Structure 1
C-alpha cells in the first residue's frame, strides 16, 4: 500500500542518486534509489531538501518513489543538528500542514 508523504532528506549521494529521508510521521526512515525509479532518474537531492513522495513498505523497510521537490534547502543543517544536539523544543522541524 502506498501513501503520499512529506519528508526531509537527511543524506544524499548525488553520484549514485540515493537518499535517506526522515518522514513526517516520524516513523522509520525511507530509502530512495533512482536505480529503482526509472521515471525519476536524475532527481538531484541534497541534505535538507523538503520533498513529497509516495512511500511504500516491504518487510521492515520503507521506500520512497515519485519524488517532488517542495523546498530545496528547507532544513540544511538537519543532519548535523540531529547528531549533535539533544532533543529540544526549538529543534523541531515543522512539516507542511495536512495533505489535500
Structure 2
C-alpha cells in the first residue's frame, strides 16, 4: 500500500525553485472525439471493415495512479507519468 502526504516539496518549473505542492488524485477524462487518432480510428472501422487492432489479452495486476501536483506559489499544476499501485492513499502529514 502506498501512503503519500497531501503536501510535498517538489521542483516547480514555473517558480524555478522547490516549493510546496498540493497533491490530488485525478481520474482520466473523456477523450476528445476530434483528435487525429480518434478520426483515424473511425475511418478504419467504417463500412464493412473489422476492428483494426488485435484485442488486448490478459489483465494487468494493478491500476495506474494519476497524481496532480499543484504549486502553492504559482498555482500551476504538473502531472508526471502515472505509477502503478494496488492500493493508494493520501494522508495528512
TM-score of Structure 1 vs Structure 2, range by shorter chain: under 0.3
Larger radius of gyration: 2
Q: Normalization by structure 2: what TM-score?
A: 0.26
Structure of greater relative contact order (alpha carbons < 8 Å, 6+ residues apart): 2
More helix as a share of residues? 1
